Homo-oligomer: A and B are copies of this chain.
Amino acid sequence: MKRQIQEEINQLKAKILHMGGVAEDMIRFSMKCFTERETGAGDRVFRSEEEVNRLQIEVDELACRILALYQPEASDLRAILAAMKINSELERVADQAVNITQTCTYHLFKEVPVKTMMEIPRMAAIAQEMIKNSLDAFSRSDVELAQDVLKKDEEEDTLKSKVLSEVIGMIRRQPSQTNQLVDLILISRNLEKIGDHATNIAEDVIFMVLGKDIRHHAQ
Chain B's closest residue to A89 (CB) is B88
List A residues 47-83 near B (Cβ within 8 Å): 53-54, 56-57, 60-61, 64, 67-68, 71, 73-74, 77-78, 81
Interface positions, chain A 163-219, Cβ under 8 Å from B, are: 164, 168, 171-172, 175-176, 178-179, 182, 185-186, 189, 213, 215-216, 218
CA distance A103 to B215 in the complex (A): 24
Q: Which chain B positions have C-beta within 8 A of A60?
A: 213
Which of chain B's residues have a CB closer than 8 A to the CB of A64? 77-78, 81
For this chain, the copies found in one complex come to 2
**Chain A residues close to B by CB (< 8 Å):** 53-54, 56-57, 60-61, 64, 67-68, 71, 73-74, 77-78, 81, 84-85, 88, 164, 168, 171-172, 175-176, 178-179, 182, 185-186, 189, 213, 215-216, 218
Q: A57-B215, A182-B185 are in contact. Are A74 and B68 (CB under 8 A)?
A: yes
Q: Which chain B residues lie closer than 8 Å to A171 at the CB level? A: 171, 175, 178, 182
Residues of B within 8 A of A57 (CB): 213, 215-216, 218
